[in-house]
Structure 1
């Protein structure tokens, strides 16, 4: 595994601030998945979903989301 793969891919704060959960419209915050991979987590208290971040690109598709 290369050094780049060891660190989670971060998203610029200004980008993260404008992104919203496509299902609930809630704010997204940076998180880490069960396998250590980066993800964006919805802050909606009723339906918390986590979206993967692959190669620094958030995948904001409902089908790709995981329930937290």
Structure 2
């Protein structure tokens, strides 16, 4: 399932208020600034810090 590009343009990381990048293979929105990956479940981004996983 693909994410609507218009949605990606308006979403920001709730922790840092910076832009996100879309990882289609993992179905996640990545915040490089916060080092968090927010999951996308059934096409819906879950923008809660407690649901995100830490990345490198």
Same fold by TM-score, threshold 0.5 exceeded? Answer: yes
Tell me, which stretches of 5 or more residues in structure 2 are unaligned?
none
The residue aligned with 2:17 is: 25
Where do 1:18-57 residues align within 5 Å? 18-31=10-23, 37-44=26-33, 47-57=34-44
CA distance in 2: counterparts of 1:54 and 1:37, whole angstroms? 11
Structure 1 stretches of at least 4 aligned residues deviating more than 3 Å after TM superposition: none
**RMSD, matched Cα:** 1.4
TM-score, normalised via structure 1 length: 0.72
**C-alpha deviation, 1:31, in angstroms:** 1.2
